[in-house]
Structure 1
Amino acid sequence: LLSWMPLFLHTGIGATTIGVFHLKDCSSADEDIGVVLEGIRVLSNLDSVPTAVAMLFGLIYAMNLAYPADLRYTFEVLQKIVMELDGGKLSNKALSLKNHLYE
């Protein structure tokens, strides 16, 4: 499956600290959905993006990883508000967003 991916995609994935990817070749039916940790594709060929996000959170929890500092609030909102995991302990920014969402 890697043979159809251009070099810039390999470089972009290699420069990613943590994330989910969805690669699709428009000229064929080839696609890949997976998880990247520290620039390494740790999971691929997953069924869907929501599955990849759930797997990413599972890996973060199982490996006791910290969220990247620049994405801390994004991951906190996904985990605690969207996925409703440990929602009682919110930062002020996440709590403010939650209050605005549920007004």
Structure 2
Amino acid sequence: LKKHTMGIYVINKEDGQNGHYDDIGIFVEGEIVMDNIGSPAQACALMLGVIYALNLAYPKELRHYYEFIQKVLMGLDGEKLSPKVLGLKNKIATG
């Protein structure tokens, strides 16, 4: 957690079953801000809320990922897309 500014962590159960976790949470600057989240998908959506609520910038290495979720999947501020995200959106639409 100390190596990254923010992110989602997943702790797998010891039995190693896919889809079963001991904990899923969100951390910011090495501190856990949310834990016991139900699924990785919920954690991704909640991460957008944490970023918005704390007025943070998207992590540089994940900015296109979060931009895609925010603007394409959630339809928030979707008219202004970066070229990379617009290209991905077009590829998905033409499928």
* Structure-2-length-normalised TM-score: 0.82
Other-structure match for 2:29: 38
Which sections of structure 1, spanning at least 5 residues, go unmatched?
1-12
Q: Percent identity at matched positions?
A: 42
TM-superposed CA distance for 1:27, in Å, is 4.2
Higher helix share: 1
TM-superposed CA distance for 1:16, in Å, is 2.2
- Find the structure with the greater CA-based Rg: 1
* Structure-1-length-normalised TM-score: 0.77
Q: Secondary structure at the match of 2:76?
A: coil
TM-superposed CA distance for 1:81, in Å, is 1.4
Determine the C-alpha separation between the residues in 2 that align with 1:46 and 1:70.
Answer: 23
Determine the C-alpha separation between the residues in 1 that align with 2:45 and 2:66.
Answer: 12
1:66 maps onto 2:57 in alignment:
yes
TM-superposed CA distance for 1:93, in Å, is 1.3
* Divergent runs of 4+, >4 A: 27-30
Tell me how large the CA RMSD over aligned residues is. Answer: 1.9
